[in-house]
A = this chain, B = another copy of it.
Amino acid sequence: MNDADVYGQLKQYLGKHITVSDEQLALFCSKFKHKKTKRGEILLRADEIAPYSYFVNNGCLRVYMMDAEGRESTRFLIFENSVGTAFPSFTLQEPSMAYIQSVEPSEILYITHKDFNGLLDTFPGWERVYRIDLEREYIASIRRIESLITMDAKQKYNLLMSKNPALIQRLPSRIIADYLGISQETLSRLKSKK
């Protein structure tokens, strides 16, 4: 796969909100490295400082917590054509409470914290794209909080079905149930009713 293919989606992502020249795009992309991951590969462990933010070309990354008994809780999923990381750790450069795992074999781009902030200072329009993305992510996290504090299992499942039905086919039931904060038994009961 040549560079154009590897960076094509990132360029589209950037071009959604701002107009930039090909030279600027090439400079922007040069800050991102390319990597293929295996199913289940761990990209970050808790207590490490998240060194990278990721752009997913294809596949899916999962940000999750693990308690003292080894029980996992999925905090966040990063899909194709979006940017994400263990956000508090990456942004504040402090030890992460979360792990990052490649749920599927994935193809990703990654950028260091230093280069990410460098682009905010030097690349025209990047702060705007990032700000709009932050608004979107913040809204998603507010919706998540709303569903956690007010919805029952059926409402949570129906919301996910309406927003992201492919997910329910694609990811293991264990991860879906955990993401929704419901039991696997409840999830399979809800699925069978559809």
Contact B148 A148 (CB under 8 A): yes
Contact B148 A138 (CB under 8 A): no
- What is the interface of chain A, defined by CB distance below 8 A to chain B? 65, 67, 73, 75-76, 87-88, 91-92, 97-98, 120, 127-128, 130-131, 134-135, 137-139, 141-146, 148-150, 181
Report the minimal beta-carbon distance from A116 to chain B, rounded to whole angstroms: 12
B residues less than 8 Å from A181 (CB atoms): 148-149
Report the minimal beta-carbon distance from A117 to chain B, rounded to whole angstroms: 11
> Interface majority SS on A: helix, strand, loop or mixed?
helix
B residues less than 8 Å from A141 (CB atoms): 138, 141-142, 145
Most buried by B among A137, A138, A142: A142
B residues less than 8 Å from A143 (CB atoms): 88
Nearest neighbor of A88 in chain B, beta-carbon distance: B139
Can you list 12 A-B pairs with a CB-CB distance of less than 8 A? Answer: A65-B150, A73-B149, A75-B149, A87-B138, A87-B142, A91-B135, A97-B146, A134-B134, A137-B138, A148-B148, A148-B149, A149-B181
Contact B75 A146 (CB under 8 A): yes
B residues less than 8 Å from A144 (CB atoms): 145
| Contact pick for A146, options B65, B127, B131, B139, CB 8 Å | B65
For the complex, give the distance between the alpha carbons of A73 and B131 in Å: 28
